[in-house]
Structure 1
Amino acid sequence: MKQAAYIAFALLGLIWGTNFIFMKWAAEWISPTQIVFLRVLFGFLPILAFALARRSLSWSHLRYSHHFLVMALLATAIYYYAFAKGTSLLLSSVAGMLSGAIPLFSFVTAWLFLRAEPLNARTAFGIFLGFIGVILIARPWNSLAAGVDVSGVLYMIAGSLSVGCSFVYARRFITPLGLSPLALSTYQIGFALVLITLVTDMHGIANISLDPVALAGVILGLGLAGTGVAYILYYYIVQRLGALAASGVTYIPPVIALLIGTLLVGEPIKYLDLLAMLLILVGVYVLQSGTKKPTATPTVAAKVTP
């Protein structure tokens, strides 16, 4: 059983790591909002089917719709849009490396608003290392020469902050409800789909069909696998290995995104970028090892994907 869980662990890291190149390809044909719409639409279908099969949903849960709406905004709509927009402005490898900082923002927002996480010398050092890594990637003092769009970095940071705020909201209002992670994720993504449908300009969305690779990337890569299957895999890993071990999957996507961007797509990479990614991952490790409970797990009330 554990062997299957470790296979799922590796597969999940691989799936999340490919998200950035799929977003980059799609951004050449459609807007970030349209990318999010297609991702959420095709991600919602397998989660809904799985939730119905497990009989995890109930009409009585709809009395918590206001909470589901907030989570849909913070952990899906805003988060996915910011990452899609940021990736469209950056190299996919750079966007992937920045995604490794999500646990840092989750911890900081939890510490600021919940005061439930221990801020000690070890966690403070982890945060310091991680943010130095983010700054080295952005290089605001020389961003033009470095070929880095600072606004793209800011979008990635905004997405990470949105996830961090969703973690705080989930801890404060969602966890006490006692609903299963599968049910919570189904409601959250379903509400997000409604919201995104209302604000998405569908004009030109069919342009992506001109590129079969980009189309498959959005539907199968970001939607079916990157959102739907990824959630299901995460639940399985948490059940088999526990939340602490499952949180370690956040180390894999930045590395996968870097390998895809440099080796398969030919994106340029600098030694400073590699140092920055190393600082972010080491910072996350130090931060997690300095807390009693991992705040780095991608969360949704349950969990979120990159």
Structure 2
Amino acid sequence: MDLSSIVRLLVLAAIWGASFLFMRLAVPELGPAWLMFGRVLLAAVFLALVAVAFKRSLPIRGYAVHFMLLSFFNTALPFLLFAYAAQTLTASLLAVLNATAPLWGALIGWLFFRQTMSLKITAGLLLGICGVAILVGFNTAVDSSALPAIAAAAGAACCYGIATWYTRLAKPVPSFVNAHGSMWGATLWLLPLLWFMPLPVAQPAAHSLYAVLALGVVCTGVAYLLYFRLVQDLGATPTLTVTFLIPVFGVLWGHLFLAEVIGWHTLAGAAIVISGTMLVTGFSLESLRAAKAPVKEKI
């Protein structure tokens, strides 16, 4: 992994870790539905401009159902659930719960797709459960009233696990096309909710609008481009490193900008969750060395 790839990886982890900070900043004034609608719409427009610039078409015929299914589980529903949870939970806790997505993927594979539950995967799942228990159980700011928010954040991570299996079984589609189509699909999914969920405040503050802009353009649009470039240069396995770095930055941004306390339970819980995720995904230094670079795809 050369220096430029390391920089891109760190920048991507920092951006995705910051998404939970921006959600915490904007959701009190905008509410979950409006916040996430603004995020996916801005991301869709940004990716459309990129597609025009690089002369990349978006095939609709034959792919509309695929885009709607993928966008529901990979974007619209998890984004909405995380935004709901952000009304109660800290950015640090949200970032760590997000890292449990591979654990959910392994559990779904075992329950519904007859995937072998090896000793390593079982140990990883148990570690993940223990890590979350430590994060939540020893957090004095979390009480019984926060259980719906915790369930929502866990449900969002589970959605990513479902989306992972769907993309494995679905017809192969270029990653940029999937991202672009998913953003427009998510926009359509979230649009009807705006009728039932009015803005909590009449005129949102400037910082809330800036947070939406950052979420849509930077944390979604730019982040996808960085992700595709890393997959192109390194392959899928090394790029998986970002999964383990996001909680680090999520905890850091929450502490620096929201004055969230970093207790021993935060560090211990995050470390255990990340360790469990590494076991489940089979991630190791050996897997990095063994990973082959994929065929390069122009963005």
SS class of match (2:240): helix
Counterpart of 2:217 in structure 1 is: 224
Following TM superposition, by how much is the alpha carbon of 1:23 offset from its aligned partner in structure 2, in angstroms? 0.3
Aligned to 1:16: 16
How many angstroms does 1:39 deviate by? 0.6
Which runs of structure 2 are paired with 1:40-119 in the superposition (5 Å)? Answer: 40-59=40-59, 61-116=60-115, 118-119=116-117
- 1:292-303 → structure 2 map (5 Å cutoff): none
Match of 2:135 in 1: 137
Verify the 8 A CA contact 1:83 1:155 in the aligned structure 2. Answer: yes
Match of 2:89, as an amino acid?
L
Q: How does 1:246-285 map to 2 (within 5 A)?
A: 246-285=239-278
Correspondence list, 1:240-251, <5 A: 240-251=233-244
Q: Name the CA distance, whole Å, in 2 between partners of 1:54 and 1:293.
A: 33
The CA deviation string for residues 27-69 of structure 1, in whole angstroms up to 9 with x for no partner, is 121110111011101111221222233333254x421211211
d(CA) in 2 for partners of 1:75, 1:111: 20
Indicate conservation of the 8 Å contact 2:128/2:277, yes or no: yes
In percent, how many aligned pairs have the same letter?
Answer: 25
1:235 to 228, 248, 251: 228
Match of 2:148 among 126, 144, 151: 151
Q: Residue by residue, what CA displacement relative to the aligned partner does 1:261-297 show, whole Å, maximum 9, x if unpaired? A: 2233212233122211110011111222279999xxx
| Alignment partners' CA distance in 2, 1:208 and 1:183 | 35
CA–CA distance in structure 2, aligned partners of residues 272 and 5 of structure 1: 32
C-alpha separation in 2, matches of 1:63 and 1:98 = 35
1:230/1:290 Cα in 2 relative to 1: closer, same or farther (>3 Å)? closer
Q: Name which of 165, 168, 182 aligns with 1:168.
A: 165
Q: 1 CA distance for matches of 2:119 and 2:162?
A: 23
Separation in structure 2 between the aligned mates of residue 249 and residue 217 of structure 1, nearest angstrom: 22
How much does 1:225 deviate?
0.5
Counterpart CA distance in 1 for 2:30 and 2:257 is 23
Distance 1:52 1:113, change over 3 A: farther
Residues matched between the structures, number: 284
Q: Is the 8 A contact 1:2 1:240 kept in 2?
A: no
Paired residues of 1:122 and 1:290 also in contact (CA < 8 A): no
Measure the CA separation in 1 of the matches of 2:194 and 2:174: 30
- Is this contact kept in 1: 2:30–2:208, CA < 8 A? no
Q: Using a 3 Å threshold, how does the CA distance of structure 1 residues 96 and 49 change in structure 2: closer, same or farther? A: same
Q: CA deviation at 1:122?
A: 1.1
Partner of 2:292: none
Partner SS for 2:62: helix
How far apart, in 2, do the equivalents of 1:260 and 1:208 lie? 26
Partner of 2:291: none
After superposition, give the CA deviation of every residue in 1:195-216 in whole Å (9 maximum; x if it has no partner): 2112223733775642x22221
Deviation of 1:110 (Å): 2.7
Amino acid at match of 1:52: V
CA contact (8 A) 2:98 2:156 kept: no
Q: Provide the TM-score with structure 2 as the length reference.
A: 0.87
- 1:3 is aligned to 3
Contact kept in structure 2, 1:27 and 1:35, CA below 8 Å: yes
**Bigger CA drift: 258-267 or 232-241?**
258-267
Give yes or no for contact 1:99–1:156 (8 Å, CA) kept in 2: yes
Say whether the 8 Å CA contact 1:30–1:208 is kept in structure 2. Answer: no
Q: Partner amino acid for 2:210?
A: A
1:182 to 1:208, Cα distance in 2 relative to 1, 3 A: farther
Q: Distance in 1 between matches of 2:283 and 2:114?
A: 15
